Amino acid sequence: MGCAQDRGSTDFDQVLEHAESSPAAETTPVALATGGEAVERSVSNRKIIYTADVELVVDDFAVFERQISGVIGSHGGYAAERSSDRRHGDHRGGTWVIRVPVANYDAFLSGLDSLGFARSRSETSDDVTEAYVDLEARISNKQKLEARILAMLEERPGKLTDLMEIERELSRVREEIERMEGRMRVLKDQTSLATVTLRVVEEATYEPPAAPTFGDRIAAAWGGSIRSIGQIATGLVIVAVAVIPWAVMLVPIAWLAYRFRLKTV
Task: Please state, in angstroms and rounded to a whole number, the distance separating the CA atoms of residues 123 and 260.
Answer: 100
Contacts of 81 (CB under 8 A, 6+ apart): 95, 96, 97
CB distance 196 to 109 below 8 Å: yes
196 three-state secondary structure: strand
CB distance 166 to 152 below 8 Å: yes
* φ and ψ at residue 76, rounded to 5 degrees: 75, 20
CA 139 and chain centroid, separation: 26
**Strands ordered across the beta sheet of 48-58:** 78-85, 93-101, 193-202, 48-58, 117-127
Question: What amino acid occupies position 209?
Answer: P
CB distance 73 to 50 below 8 Å: no
Better-scored residue on pLDDT, 127 or 18:
127
Give tens-digit pLDDT for 195-221: 999 999 888 654 555 677 888 788 888
How confident is the model at residue 265, as a pLDDT?
Answer: 64
What is the dihedral sign for C-alpha 12, 18, 23, 25? negative
Task: Please state, in angstroms and rounded to a whole number, the distance separating the CA atoms of residues 29 and 20.
Answer: 18
Q: Using CA atoms in the order 159, 162, 166, 168, what is the torsion angle rounded to 10 degrees?
A: 110
**Count of residues for the chain?**
265
CB distance 116 to 58 below 8 Å: yes
Helices (H), the chain: 2-20, 22-26, 28-31, 35-44, 61-74, 105-112, 129-155, 160-192, 214-264
User: What average pLDDT does this structure show over 91-119?
Assistant: 91
How confident is the model at residue 4, as a pLDDT?
Answer: 47
> By C-alpha distance, which of 54, 49, 99, 108 is closest to 77?
99
Give tens-digit pLDDT for 123-172: 999 998 888 888 889 998 888 888 888 887 777 666 667 777 878 888 88
What are the sequence ranges of the domains in the chain?
2-44+137-177, 216-265
Task: Please state, in angstroms and rounded to a whole number, the distance separating the CA atoms of residues 172 and 125.
Answer: 35
User: What average pLDDT does this structure show over 91-96?
Assistant: 87
The model scores a pTM over 0.85: no
Question: What amino acid occupies position 152?
Answer: M
